[in-house]
Amino acid sequence: MANAKTVEFWFDFGSPASYLAWFQLPKVAASRGASIDWRPMLLGGVFQATSNRSPVEIPAKGRWMLGDLPRWAARYGAPYKRNPHFPINTLTLMRGAVGLQLRNDPRFLKYVGTIFRAMWEEERNMGDPAVVGATLAGAGFDPAEFMALVGDPAVKDRLKAVTQEAVERGVFGAPAMFIDGQMHFGQDRIEFVADRMAANADEATAACMDTLDRFMAGLNAYDAAAMDAAMHFPHVRIAGGTVKVYEKPGSNPMDLFDKLRKEDNWARSEWNERKVVQRSESKVHMALTYTRYRAEGSVLGVYESLCVLTLKAGRWGIQARSSFGP
């Protein structure tokens, strides 16, 4: 995908916040046409180099964090469970991650998922070599090959080098994410990362705003053809307790606005607020508010709406609308 953004994801399996970011970040990236550069590191080494320490070592902060993690897990729909063996020494596990990367092993992401799930969904003691071996075997890895991999001096040196790189770039904990040269710390900063993810976001947003402006101009001119030109078909509208599907241009009825003109003296509508809430290179979800005015200028009503705009054949158009207005 041309000009797609990439986010660097620095993580350690022993960090429950890294688990939550691992669970959520790929979904956010996929929806915005972005990619992930997976950067395993040794969190203990980062703590030592930066004079930082785990939140659980600070009683008040640890209690807060242990209560906050389940809230974020519920928000993401993640099957998180507090691991009773936490904290766990992840040196061997992180060597496994950098070793697979070093050898360009296509099973890297499978390994990452296996370890994160074992740690934070299955409550396994991943500090026990026997448990690690059984977990890997159950996922189709050869435990003997794994032990040879993590014992390779080149792999050990690689983990030291990437951890030092993380420290030199300002990382002090996990997870840390870099996009457009800016670091964001903590899984609760994924929304900030998401705002920077979509490639050509400014151009796409401007094109969608123009599409909405043309749609509104057509509406106010009572020009169904102009409205159709700002839409894609089939077009879905959800409002007033009904769902309508307009299959093709020319099927967009104006009876609602005939009624508003006759009964409420409606004359025009205006956008109040338009905010992109989700986007990719070919689809934008936009939260809107708009006002309907009577002919003399008084307000008929202010309403919230959601529009889905899609890019087809090089043109942005409104594919679906859901409004709290009638």
The whole-angstrom separation of Cα 281 and Cα 270 is 27
* Mean local confidence (pLDDT), 65-92: 94
Q: Given a cut of 70, is residue 182 above it in pLDDT? A: yes
Residue 30 and residue 113 in one domain: yes
String of DSSP letters for 279-299: E-SSEEEEEEEEEEEETTS-E
The whole-angstrom separation of Cα 320 and Cα 285 is 10
Strand spans (E) along the chain = 6-11, 35-40, 176-179, 182-185, 231-239, 242-246, 266-279, 283-294, 299-312, 315-323
- The pLDDT of residue 1: 42
Residue 97 and residue 172 in one domain: yes
Question: Is residue 155 a part of any domain in this protein?
Answer: yes
Residue 287 and residue 191 in one domain: no
Whether a cis peptide bond, with omega within 30° of 0, leads into 153 is no
String of DSSP letters for 109-160: HHHHHHHHHHHHTS---TTSHHHHHHHHHHTT--HHHHHHHHT-HHHHHHHH
Count of domains observed in the chain: 2
Q: Which residue is associated with the tokens 């993380």?
A: 166
Residue 13 and residue 115 in one domain: yes
Residue 306 and residue 269 in one domain: yes
> What is the pLDDT confidence band of residue 254, given thresholds at 50, 70 and 90?
confident
Residue 26 and residue 81 in one domain: yes
> 242: domain CATH number?
3.10.450.50
Residue 166 and residue 283 in one domain: no
Looking at 182, 197, 212, the residue that finishes a domain is 197
Residue 83 and residue 27 in one domain: yes
Looking at 197, 223, 247, the residue that finishes a domain is 197
> 71: domain CATH number?
3.40.30.10
Summarize pLDDT for 232-250 with one digit per residue, the tens: 999 999 988 899 999 999 8
Summarize pLDDT for 272-324 with one digit per residue, the tens: 888 888 888 799 999 999 999 898 888 889 999 999 999 999 999 999 999 98
Question: Is residue 1 a part of any domain in this protein?
Answer: no
* Mean local confidence (pLDDT), 194-217: 82
- The pLDDT of residue 206: 82
Residue 186 and residue 209 in one domain: no
Which strands form 176-179's sheet, in the order they lie side by side?
Answer: 35-40, 6-11, 176-179, 182-185
Domain containing 313: what range? Answer: 201-323
Residue 88 and residue 138 in one domain: yes
Neighbours of 156 (CB within 10 A): 15
The whole-angstrom separation of Cα 45 and Cα 59 is 22
Residue 300 and residue 231 in one domain: yes
Question: Is residue 241 a part of any domain in this protein?
Answer: yes
